[in-house]
């Protein structure tokens, strides 16, 4: 039988393996280039914010932050506007084909979307939404529809049916029921979906790479990637560390506040596949 320490040791080692690279990245953002080369493992000599200043002002990270914020907020709002009524209809209104429709949405989670990105590229071009943050937000919102519908139907399924029935007898229209009863009562699910989608959109890289072209439209991921490719020639490693840190700060804050909800939302979303 293993001793307790023997069991615990891998847990401690893995904590270090997870934490150290992230801490190293944050520490690196305070180092000068000379320090990064001279002492990769060490602490910075002083905590100066020059790298953050450079990243923000000289490397367009500010634009990346605002563009990412824009697509994240717009994408999550559109996803909710689309997913809430559909989830309600699928979960609560009996209509022919509701199971089929649900399965159609859910099975989209298993399909490799990369096949669809080529036609999507030309479609966005035709409707003038290529290299357009609004277009990207719509694409993002639709891409998270399957997940959103999956989670929301689960939450709505636990709302007692009697509430809707009595509201209906009292003369409330189905629109009113959806807006004044179902939406507030599934707020917990709506918040979960919103956080999960927001993280997804904030972190997204590949669709942005394909569908955005001009630098002023770059989302944070693209901007960071751009600096990373340039750093090979410019050696702006400190700036790159700082941009990476800027990219994960909102995620750290969100995680600190909603840790339980995020891990629950993700494991629930994962069970779909």
Which element (helix H / strand E) includes 206? helix 206-211
259 binds other proteins, rule: CB under 8 A: yes
Collapse the DSSP code of 160 into the 3-class scheme (helix H, G, I; strand E, B; otherwise coil) and give the result. coil
Of 154 and 168, nearer to other proteins (C-beta) is 168
Q: Which stretch binds other proteins (CB under 8 A): 20-28, 43-51, 69-77, 152-160?
A: 20-28
Among 86, 154, 183, 194, binds other proteins (CB under 8 A): 86
Q: Which range of residues in 51-59, 86-94, 154-162, 184-192 is near other proteins by CB under 8 A?
A: 86-94
Sign of CA dihedral 101, 82, 272, 119: positive
120 alpha-carbon distance from chain centroid: 21
Position 181 contacts other proteins (CB under 8 A): no
Q: Could you say whether residue 257 binds other proteins (CB under 8 A)? A: no
Taking CB under 8 A as the binding criterion, the range among 54-62, 151-159, 174-182, 183-191 that sits at the site for other proteins is: 174-182
Q: How far apart are CA 5 and CA 8, in angstroms?
A: 5
DSSP 56-67: HHHS-HHHHHHH
Nearest-approach distance from CB 197 to other proteins, in angstroms = 12
Residue 214 interacts with other proteins (CB under 8 A)? no
Token digits of residue 27: 């520490």
Structural tokens at position 264: 């629950």
Looking at residues 133 to 152 of the shown chain, list those that interact with other proteins (rule: CB under 8 A): 138-139, 141-143, 145
Residue count (the chain): 273
């Amino acid at each position: 039988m293993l001793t307790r320490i023997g069991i615990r040791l891998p847990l401690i080692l893995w904590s270090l393996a997870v934490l150290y690279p992230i801490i190293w990245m944050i520490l690196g953002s305070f180092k000068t280039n000379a320090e990064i080369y001279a002492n990769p493992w060490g602490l910075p000599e002083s905590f100066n914010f020059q790298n953050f200043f450079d990243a923000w002002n000289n490397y367009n990270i500010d634009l990346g932050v605002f563009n990412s914020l824009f697509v994240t907020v717009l994408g999550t709002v559109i996803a909710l506007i689309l997913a809430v009524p559909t989830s309600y209809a699928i979960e609560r209104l009996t209509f022919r084909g509701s199971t089929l429709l649900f399965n159609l949405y859910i099975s989209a989670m298993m399909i490799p979307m990369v096949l669809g990105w080529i036609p999507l590229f030309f479609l966005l071009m035709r409707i003038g939404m290529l290299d357009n943050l609004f277009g990207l937000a719509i694409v993002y919102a639709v891409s998270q529809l399957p997940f959103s519908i999956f989670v929301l139907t689960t939450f709505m399924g636990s709302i007692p049916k009697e509430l809707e029935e009595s509201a209906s007898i009292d003369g409330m229209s189905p629109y009113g029921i959806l807006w004044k009863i179902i939406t507030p009562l599934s707020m917990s699910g709506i918040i979960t979906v919103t956080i999960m989608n927001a993280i997804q959109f904030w972190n997204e890289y590949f669709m942005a790479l394909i569908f955005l072209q001009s630098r002023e439209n770059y989302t944070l991921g693209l901007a960071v990637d751009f600096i990373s490719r340039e750093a090979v020639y410019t050696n702006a490693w400190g700036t790159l560390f700082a941009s990476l840190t800027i990219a994960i700060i909102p995620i750290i804050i969100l995680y600190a506040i909603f840790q339980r909800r995020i891990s629950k939302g993700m494991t629930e979303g994962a069970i779909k596949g």
